[in-house]
Amino acid sequence: MANQDISFAQINDDVVRSLVVTGRKYYITLAISILVTFTCFVGPWFYQLRYGIGAAGMNHPTVWGTYLASFIFWIGLSHSGTLLSAVLHLTNSEWRKAMYRSAEAMTLFSVMVAAMMVMVHVGRPWFVHWAVPYPNQMEMWPNFRSPLMFDVMAITTYMTGSIIFIYMGTIPDFAAVRDRTTGWRHHMYVLLSLGWRGTDTEWNRLHWAYTFLAVLIVPLAVSVHSIVSWDFALSVVPALHQTIFAPYFVVGAIYSGTAGIVTVMFVLRKYMKFEHLITKLHFDNLGKLLLVMSLLWTYINMVELFTGWYSESSEEYEALNFRLFGFYGPLYWEMILFCALAPLLLISKRFRTSFVPMLILSIVINIGMYTERFLIVATSLPRQYLPDAWGMYVPSLVEIAIMVGSFGMFTTLFLVFVKIFPSISLYEVKETLPEPQPKPQADSGAP
Amino acid sequence: MSVSIVPTLKLLKPAAMVVAVAFFGLIVGYWANAAFTSGNAPSFAPGYAPEQPIDFSHRVHAGENQIDCLYCHTQASRSASAGVPSVDKCAGCHQQVATDRPQIRRVLEYWENQEPIPWIKVHDLPDFVYFPHKRHVAAGVACQTCHGPVETMDVVSRQAPSQMGICLNCHKEHQVEFGTDCLTCHK
Amino acid sequence: MATNALGLFNAPSSALEAAGALKGAGFDSPTVISPIPIHGIDEVLGKKKSIIKRFTFFGALFGGIAGFALAAGTAVMYIHATGGRPIIAIPPFLIITYELTILCGILATVLGFILGSRLPAFKNRVYVPEVAVDKFAVTVLCEDPERLKRAHDILQSSGAEEIREVEGEQ
Amino acid sequence: MSFIDTLRSRWQEYRRPGYYENFDYAWTMTIDLDSCTGCGACVTACQAENNIPLVGEEELARGREMHWIRIERYWEGEFPNAKLNFIPMLCQHCDAAPCETVCPVSATYHNQDGLNAQVYNRCVGTRSCAVYCPYEVRYFNYYNHEWPSPLDQQLNPDVTVREKGVMEKCTFCIQRIRQAKDAAKDDGRRRVLDGEVQPACVQTCASQAMVFGNRNDSQSEVFKSMNDPRAYHVLEEVNTAPSVVYLKKVEVNG
């Protein structure tokens, strides 16, 4: 909820200002992020396309590497936005209204970056369209029994669903912004708002459509990340072939996604000057959610260890041993520190309502979560059944560059977004304010 | 005061035209690619008819004089590739037949110099496809099925676009045992 | 083009009052334009039946059937046996079914929304930019000057801040 | 009614695991570990037969070896009593192969001859099959390999040279199987005779530790060999139903 003493008009002013008035800081950030995207993502990727996947550090037992870890990370980051927004919409939460738009945008862009990571990951991206069902002269269709095909279907659906969900929720705001802008912006918003007016019929239809979308999107979002987990869990690789993986990934995804929202909220609040709209209350609530997710995540992580430990099968045991005490052992303990211990600070209300510590914690959590994804790939595959084929995987420079570049790409997309989409939902924030009361009779009647 | 998206749409007419043309171009380009250049190289397109070192006419040999395909392309019934006849084969007849024509003299020149004629391959398959002529000749598939009416051509041109669908259709039509198994053609 | 009376209000309650009064006076369905959805509008203007739910339901149903048909049909069209599993393997195909159910459900909902809300607006529709900020407007189509006058009076008595005559479609 | 009957029979057909039931061949290999000397001739033969690139020292150090069959070496005991065991590891052509189910584009699948097929030109390079394979016998082309002249002259024309970004693995020398089938057809025989097909590794094995053949034919050499009491499958607990059978080494003194 926003502060109660701001007026409807002020919200319009704030949002239009955030779209139209652009400071030098914005352009500098945009330039840097575009530069990073090109030098760290596009460039190395082209090198890799010419040379082959050999440019990355993957080798014989560890054929999957950081590209896949980044893919899961971005998909995970995408998980909170739309899911949280839909759940909170269905439960009529007031505090959702000031933050859901940018959370959804985060979803959308991280799904896009994740899709790019798939392109980077595969050996022959120029044939990636073969994983799409379309009639062709070869009469070949994709293999729908494959967990990777589930991924293709789920992520396509999720991306489509997220685009529609964010767009539909923004139509009234496009209309509000349309009236205040001129030139090309005006024409863009005319088209985007579809000629929305805000009549009773329109509101009614929007409400129903939006609610149905939310209902459809909640199970979808849960399915997407469990399907991503099955890429691993449906194999017979020790330490990956686990039933806990689906909930583990879903929880991890919501966890890192919520931390991502905290980061984005902080940046929006600070640089778009939404201090009166995004308040301590939001950080408090998000902090509680983070705490819950962190505890859940820790629990599932323990269960994962237990099954390996109790099974006492030599390959499970070896994989576990390698993860905890092997070459990447320190990374594992870093992950525990960042994702299981550090978030315990959230128990304190004072911590939850202070902005900078929350920002630092959210970034720390996401570093930990990236480590988690990296460890899943880099400590399971090198220790499989046959010890002769054991190996070691270290990311190459190209891989690290592309990982950094993917952050640049995400930032670029987000920066473009904040200048086109009203990043605060105008009408829903207004809804949280006290309803305007009719003025005393004396004032009315004047034409 | 009223609202409508039509004025903006009208403004966008030129842009829409560009998009429409680009879209149309994309579709035409896709179609052209699928129909003519599938298989990556321009030489895989139907209608490819390179100029050969000798103006050899299949119409005269196979059409008018009714020489069997397998008389010259003997390898077709024995091995995977149909093969091009050696100069010896040409000389076998043309030491007697029509020796005065300039083109024949050139053939005999090759023969006397003990050099092969540098024929240019017209029908080519991608390298990852294995097509045994032997099996198909043994199964009674006419050469014309894939190569077209060669006996009417003065200059041989490519007929079938060598696409997987064509192989598959034929195999399905004739109910070849395990004919759609990938390993039948790819190995 | 038709003439419409449009009254601007600064509170949703007075706008609703005006709309109710107009309806009671025999005007056919006044339109309330507001910056936020108004609670309790159904009681004044009558409950609106939405066709969206049907779209969502049948879209999802179609998606489910199409999803299974896509997976099973394409598996049968070119048979590649994999991993000793049946060609039509139920558990994996259920996932495809699930995803396509949701995808088609979402797309059908969008279609339902577009049709149900009469968007996009291709004709000039009655609108004033103030309603996107903090004003609530009630507008009604008036065929002749006499009805315009009556609408004017009703709006006035309900406490309209400002009354305009606007050309356009409802 | 007949339409429903057809539908039902088709449905039952498609619900049967593996779909192909009455096929002529089920290619199988047995490897007698008692005879295996670990000489590595099979590795070399395979390399020559199947156009497998030599990756070079540098790539080898990065763990990107390429050989469809490898000799795994396992030491037992401490120095004075140390013992060395060998086990040649190649694609097991599992009947319930995990790698097949995961390929999104059906580049790898099971064919009617019991072979685990890998179609190179369909592969998009997700590398998931290599992750799913418990035997680690799938090898990936990390870049375009070159055969500097005159090595290019020894490439086998019957085998595709693989591009970068493509997964490859043992095919049981499919080109030889196809050739033998061709010869059988020319002779008007329905089946290949036992011993007519030999993959390069089997042909090369000096101690004749490997036997290859059709296990559907109860007269075949391989059928006898795989029913030896010493026979076992590697990683039987993963339930992949491999087509490669190992014969246990006979221990002399404990």
CB A194 within 8 Å of CB B5:
yes
A100 within domain boundaries:
yes
Higher pLDDT, A408 or B44: A408
Contact state of D97 with C79 under an 8 Å Cβ cutoff: no
Q: Which amino acid is at A74?
A: W
Q: How far is A155 from chain C, CA to nearest CA, in Å?
A: 9
Same domain, B19 and B66: no
A443 within domain boundaries:
no
Give the count of domains, chain C. 2
Q: How far is Cα D53 from Cα D161, in angstroms, rounded to an integer?
A: 9
Contact state of A148 with D130 under an 8 Å Cβ cutoff: no
A137 within domain boundaries:
no
What is the structure's pLDDT at A298? 94
| Full residue range of the structural domain in which residue A27 is found | 8-126+146-432
B107 within domain boundaries:
no
Percent of chain A with pLDDT strictly greater than 70: 97
State mean pLDDT over D52-76.
90
Mean pLDDT of chain C: 86
| Full residue range of the structural domain in which residue C137 is found | 3-49+122-167
Distances from the Cα of A428 to the Cαs of A130, A286, C35, C47, D9, in angstroms?
43, 19, 10, 22, 57
Identify from A234, A236, A315, A399 which residue to disrupt to test chain D contact, counting D C-beta atoms within 10 A and taking the largest count: A236
B178 within domain boundaries:
yes
Mean pLDDT of chain B: 85
State mean pLDDT over C49-53.
83
**Residue A39 binned pLDDT confidence (cut-offs 50, 70, 90):** very high
Sort out which chain D residues have CB atoms less than 8 A from B138's CB and list them: 185-186
Sort out which chain B residues have CB atoms less than 8 A from D115's CB and list them: 183
Chain segment D25-42, per-residue pLDDT in tens? 899 999 999 999 999 999
Same domain, C67 and C110: yes
Same domain, C22 and C74: no
Q: How far is A54 from chain B, CA to nearest CA, in Å?
A: 23
Contact state of D124 with A122 under an 8 Å Cβ cutoff: yes
pLDDT at B40 over 50: no
Is the minimum CB–CB distance between D19 and chain C shorter than 8 Å? yes
pLDDT at A360 over 90: yes
Which residue ranges make up each domain of chain D?
A: 23-247
CATH code of the domain in which A152 resides? 1.20.1630.10
Q: How far is Cα A414 from Cα A421, in angstroms, rounded to an integer?
A: 10
pLDDT at A289 over 50: yes
Same domain, C79 and C160: no
Sort out which chain B residues have CB atoms less than 8 A from A139's CB and list them: 164-165, 168
What is the structure's pLDDT at B1? 60
Of the partner residues C78, C82, C88, the one whose CB lies closest to the CB of residue D14: C88
Contact state of C84 with D110 under an 8 Å Cβ cutoff: yes
State mean pLDDT over D38-56.
92
State mean pLDDT over A97-119.
90
**Residue A157 binned pLDDT confidence (cut-offs 50, 70, 90):** very high
B136 within domain boundaries:
yes
- Burial class (CB within 10 angstroms; exposed 0-12, middle 13-18, buried 19+) of C3: middle
| Full residue range of the structural domain in which residue B31 is found | 6-37
What is the structure's pLDDT at B30? 79
Q: How far is Cα A84 from Cα A186, in angstroms, rounded to an integer?
A: 31
- A92 is written with which tokens? 């009529």
Q: Which of A289-293, A417-421, C141-145 has the lowest mean pLDDT?
A: C141-145
Q: Which CATH number fits domain D23-247: 3.40.50.1820, 3.90.1150.10, 3.40.50.720, 3.30.70.20?
A: 3.30.70.20
Identify from D60, D106, D163, D167 which residue to disrupt to test chain A contact, counting A C-beta atoms within 10 A and taking the largest count: D106
Same domain, B73 and B126: yes
What is the structure's pLDDT at D21? 63
What is the structure's pLDDT at A365? 95
Is the minimum CB–CB distance between B108 and chain A shorter than 8 Å? no
Identify from D66, D68, D142 which residue to disrupt to test chain A contact, counting A C-beta atoms within 10 A and taking the largest count: D142
CB D225 within 8 Å of CB D29:
no
Q: Report the complex ipTM.
A: 0.90
CB B156 within 8 Å of CB B58:
yes
- A245 is written with which tokens? 């993986």
What is the structure's pLDDT at A441? 52
Chain segment D1-29, per-residue pLDDT in tens? 688 998 888 888 888 877 666 678 899 99
Q: Which of B153-162, C100-109, D30-39, D202-211 has the lowest mean pLDDT?
A: B153-162
Cβ density class A102-116: b for 16+ within 10 Å, e for less = bbbbbbbbbbbbbbb
Sequence-distant (≥ 6) Cβ neighbours of residue B82 within 8 angstroms: B73, B75, B76, B133
B99 within domain boundaries:
no
DSSP for D96-154?
A: T-HHHHH-TT-SEEE-TTS-EEE-GGG-----HHHHH-TT---EE--S-----TTGGGG
State mean pLDDT over A233-260.
91
Give the count of domains, chain B. 2
Q: Which residues pair with C165 in a beta bridge?
A: C5
Cβ–Cβ pairs < 8 A, chains C and D:
55
| Sign of the four-CA dihedral A284, A90, A224, A153 | negative
Identify from D14, D16, D93, D109 which residue to disrupt to test chain C contact, counting C C-beta atoms within 10 A and taking the largest count: D14
Higher pLDDT, C141 or A337: A337
Sort out which chain A residues have CB atoms less than 8 A from B7's CB and list them: 190
Mean pLDDT of chain D: 90
CA max distance for chain C: 81
Mean pLDDT of chain A: 89
**Residue A443 binned pLDDT confidence (cut-offs 50, 70, 90):** very low
Is the minimum CB–CB distance between B4 and chain C shorter than 8 Å? yes
- A209 is written with which tokens? 């459509």
Contact state of A438 with C120 under an 8 Å Cβ cutoff: no
Q: What is the 3-state secondary structure (H, E, C) of A210-254?
A: HHHHHHHHHHHHHHHHHHHHHHHHCCCCCCCCCCCHHHHHHHHHH
Same domain, B17 and B78: no
pLDDT at B61 over 60: yes
Give the count of domains, chain A. 1
B93 within domain boundaries:
no
Of the partner residues B2, B180, B182, the one whose CB lies closest to the CB of residue C127: B2
Closest by Cα among A270, A282, A285, A286 to A362? A286
Higher pLDDT, D202 or A23: D202
Chain segment C78-135, per-residue pLDDT in tens? 888 888 889 899 999 999 999 999 999 999 999 999 998 888 888 888 888 888 888 8
Q: How far is Cα D98 from Cα D135, in angstroms, rounded to an integer?
A: 11
Of the partner residues C78, C121, C166, the one whose CB lies closest to the CB of residue B5: C121
